[in-house]
Structure 1
Amino acid sequence: MTGQSFAGELRIDLAAISDNVRRLDELAGSAGVMAVVKAGGYGHGLVPSALAALRGGATWLGVAQLSEALELRAAGLTCPVLSWLHAPGADFAAAVREDVDLAVSAPWGLEAVAEAARAVGRAARVHVKVDTGLGRNGVLHGPALTSLLDRTRALEAEGSVRVVGMMQHFAYADAPDHPEVRAQVVRFDAAVAEAEAAGCRLEVRHLANSAATLTNPSLAYDLVRPGLAVYGLSPVPSLGDHEHDGLTPAMTWSAPLAQVKDVPAGQGISYGHTYRTERATRVGIVPVGYADGVPRAGSGVGPLWVAGSRHTVAGRVCMDQLVVDLGPGSGAREGDPCVLFGPGTQGEPTAQDWAEAIGTISYELITRVGDRVPRRYVGGEPAWHLA
């Protein structure tokens, strides 16, 4: 990284990721763990997170985008990798050459994968992704699935594809007791039975996300596929926080105070003066804003930690900065860290605290931090220092 970033840093605890995966592996019983490292490892860094997950016992890695799978291969990772969200034009030939497993969700995808496999001269490893009720990508259970399975068997006979897995996503991922969860499991089991009756030799069946891994061991099947929990956050905060789940948040976002100054009572703060000081006080300027991933919805409500005390964003979050009312006589000084969120062990806010403050989910908080904020990796080998 050239120059100095004033947007603070993301401190990523790779040991925490490894420990979280060990916990998930323990809960999975005899099933393997596919650590989901999509979206740049949920904002933690794709390759460093993948390596930490493997150190923790993960045997598979899962990504949404094919480019992510190819980046893992380019980094020298040889474990099984599954990519599951594709659009026409995807470089399936590269995936087949690099031994990346591919999810197939529609007839066009199956034909494109088979064509790529013929060109490469080896069979593509395919997981059929079934839409059992989410209504998102995936072949709909019923006649559409039957037709797709018939075609996969024909392509298997010619040697261009090999169906090795079947997968699905839950519609109520954060409500494990919802009746639709059980309904989706019934449909998935029926789809698996149909595939096996058609002659598919499935190596892995996987449907358990983070929530299911933590709350319902019966859904482990052959692989669990946790995402958020790998990074130490609870996917079902209504049932308990990360400590309840035996997890440790791996990401801490902090930035130094760029300026500390005394202001009089009645001073308007930030755009629109939506906040006015009630008394003479001291304010701090934090050089991060919505361009860095701080939600503008955090204006006036986002929690902060400065000099051992909790505070709240004063006024509107700006593009590059926000303001915190430190209180009269605060001893905070320029350069002191302001923590937006972390594991919460020292009293600082967590990503879940931010999520509750602004009415969103913790996933959004950790994945939206921009590239202007450098990542600093600790607790892992090798040491990674990426901008």
Structure 2
Amino acid sequence: MTITDAIAEPVPQAVIDLAALRHNVSALAKLFAPSEVMLAVKADAYGHGLLPIALAGIEAGATSLAVLEIPAGLLLRHAGVTVPMLAWLHGSKTDFRAGIEADIELGISARWQLDAIAAAGADRPAVIHLKVDTGLSRNGATLEEWPGLVQSALELQSQGVVHIRAAWSHLADASIQDDEIALAEFRRAVLVAEKLGATFEVLHLAASSAGIRMPEARFDLVRLGIAAYGISPFDDSTGAELGLVPVMRLEAPVTEVHVGGSRNARLGIGYADGIPTLGIAKAHVAIGGIRRQVIAIEADSMLVDIGTDRVDVGDTAIVFGPGVNGEPIAEKWADWAETIGDEMVTGVASRVPRSYIG
């Protein structure tokens, strides 16, 4: 007998618990009330699957969706999703006409975007959310550019090209003090716009972090991001400590068991599937409810120490999950890899099949 007892085909999977997603959205919607919830489904819903997450989030109380790009919104519209959607990442080749005619609302940060909307020739006014940069410096008009952006939007509104629905911004979430300064800047920007003649049906500023810890920043809606997926937006607390349930469980099969001088098992998952190699000295997974130290991570596989315990080919290892069966949570892997929980779940490769429960 060789030291390799058997070999099986590796088929990892990400199990998505829609009941957990609904729990998180519902709990946070209650916290944020009377503000509404806009569920962020960017990056294929943080790697969880765009359409299933969108539908579950709407069931749980989200009244709108943040899709970031128009094509993602079009996919949802073609699937029959009718709730309001907001897209704000635009490029020189963005098909504004398709977005407008699919009733996708547009985040607007610059005059060139307004020019592109005017040139698109859509059959209805574009519903727009004017964005001011309050310090994140990701996008949005600077405080100096803001009056000009508002005036350009008002001119197009008078021509029936756009309908100004909202003013909004992103917080940097660097510190409470920074966010309080940004909140004051946002309020000033809204006043400037109103003095120029703009009226806003909706104001929105907070995402998960400020939505939870800054009630004064909630305004009319909160853009609910990573917290909906059971991962904390904070460095000083976990999702579980916030009452959230992780939505993704990442599993991999045992594909080889070695019983020579050292006893270890090979799992059918590796860095090509999104497993970080940084911090593996601290990393572990769970097999049979028992923690197994990670020894090495390769492109398509991972080697773990099984000690004297019996482990068989075909057993399931939990790489990360809700933390109830000995496995680490995604946030713990993020600590080991010196990154954030968002990256752990979003980074699970598209080649890893998603399955849905709940």
- The TM-score bracket by the shorter chain reads over 0.9
C-alpha distance in 2, partners of 1:298/1:151? 51
Give the 3-state SS of the residue equivalent to 1:26 in structure 2. Answer: helix
1:348 aligns with 2:330: no
What residue number does 1:283 align with?
A: 264
What residue number does 1:256 align with?
A: 253
What residue number does 1:322 align with?
A: 302
C-alpha distance in 2, partners of 1:25/1:310? 35
What residue number does 1:271 align with?
A: none
- For 1:309, the aligned partner's letter is I
Please tell me whether the aligned partners of residues 319 and 328 of structure 2 are also in contact (alpha carbons under 8 angstroms). yes
- 1:155-166 aligned at under 5 Å gives the runs 155-166=156-167
CA RMSD of aligned residues (A): 1.4
- For 2:323, the aligned partner's letter is G
Please tell me whether the aligned partners of residues 271 and 299 of structure 2 are also in contact (alpha carbons under 8 angstroms). yes
Aligned with residue 294 of structure 2, among 269, 291, 313 = 313
- For 1:254, the aligned partner's letter is E
Shift of 1:289: 0.9
Deviations 1:244-277 (A, max 9, x none): 211111100001100111132xxxxxxxxxxxxx
What residue number does 1:76 align with?
A: 80
Identity value in percent:
40
Please tell me whether the aligned partners of residues 7 and 372 of structure 1 are also in contact (alpha carbons under 8 angstroms). no
Give the 3-state SS of the residue equivalent to 1:349 in structure 2. Answer: coil
1:333 aligns with 2:331: no
Shift of 1:15: 1.1
Shift of 1:287: 1.1
What residue number does 1:138 align with?
A: 140
Please tell me whether the aligned partners of residues 173 and 210 of structure 2 are also in contact (alpha carbons under 8 angstroms). no
What residue number does 2:212 align with?
A: 214
Give the 3-state SS of the residue equivalent to 1:170 in structure 2. Answer: coil
Shift of 1:114: 2.2
What residue number does 2:5 align with?
A: none
What residue number does 2:155 align with?
A: 154
Please tell me whether the aligned partners of residues 31 and 223 of structure 1 are also in contact (alpha carbons under 8 angstroms). yes
What residue number does 1:125 align with?
A: 127
Structure 1 gap ranges (5+)? 265-280, 380-387
C-alpha distance in 1, partners of 2:190/2:112? 21
Please tell me whether the aligned partners of residues 312 and 324 of structure 1 are also in contact (alpha carbons under 8 angstroms). yes
1:16 aligns with 2:20: yes
Shift of 1:343: 0.7
Shift of 1:298: 4.4
Give the 3-state SS of the residue equivalent to 1:67 in structure 2. Answer: helix
C-alpha distance in 1, partners of 2:89/2:186? 19
TM-score calculated relative to the size of structure 1: 0.88
Number of residue equivalences = 351
What residue number does 1:246 align with?
A: 243
1:50 aligns with 2:31: no
C-alpha distance in 1, partners of 2:109/2:315? 50
Please tell me whether the aligned partners of residues 166 and 205 of structure 1 are also in contact (alpha carbons under 8 angstroms). yes
What residue number does 2:4 align with?
A: none
What residue number does 1:370 align with?
A: 349
Shift of 1:162: 1.0
C-alpha distance in 2, partners of 1:18/1:196? 37
Give the 3-state SS of the residue equivalent to 2:170 in structure 1. Answer: coil
Shift of 1:369: 0.7
Structure 2 gap ranges (5+)? 1-7
Please tell me whether the aligned partners of residues 285 and 318 of structure 2 are also in contact (alpha carbons under 8 angstroms). yes
Give the 3-state SS of the residue equivalent to 1:369 in structure 2. Answer: coil
Give the 3-state SS of the residue equivalent to 1:257 in structure 2. Answer: strand
What residue number does 1:108 align with?
A: 112
- For 2:302, the aligned partner's letter is L
1:235 aligns with 2:244: no
Please tell me whether the aligned partners of residues 96 and 120 of structure 1 are also in contact (alpha carbons under 8 angstroms). yes
Deviations 1:326-350 (A, max 9, x none): 11x2111111111110011222100
Please tell me whether the aligned partners of residues 5 and 374 of structure 1 are also in contact (alpha carbons under 8 angstroms). no
Give the 3-state SS of the residue equivalent to 1:40 in structure 2. Answer: helix
Please tell me whether the aligned partners of residues 256 and 334 of structure 1 are also in contact (alpha carbons under 8 angstroms). yes
- For 2:141, the aligned partner's letter is V
C-alpha distance in 2, partners of 1:88/1:71? 20
Give the 3-state SS of the residue equivalent to 1:120 in structure 2. Answer: coil
C-alpha distance in 2, partners of 1:7/1:291? 13
Please tell me whether the aligned partners of residues 104 and 110 of structure 1 are also in contact (alpha carbons under 8 angstroms). yes
Shift of 1:180: 1.0
Please tell me whether the aligned partners of residues 277 and 337 of structure 2 are also in contact (alpha carbons under 8 angstroms). no
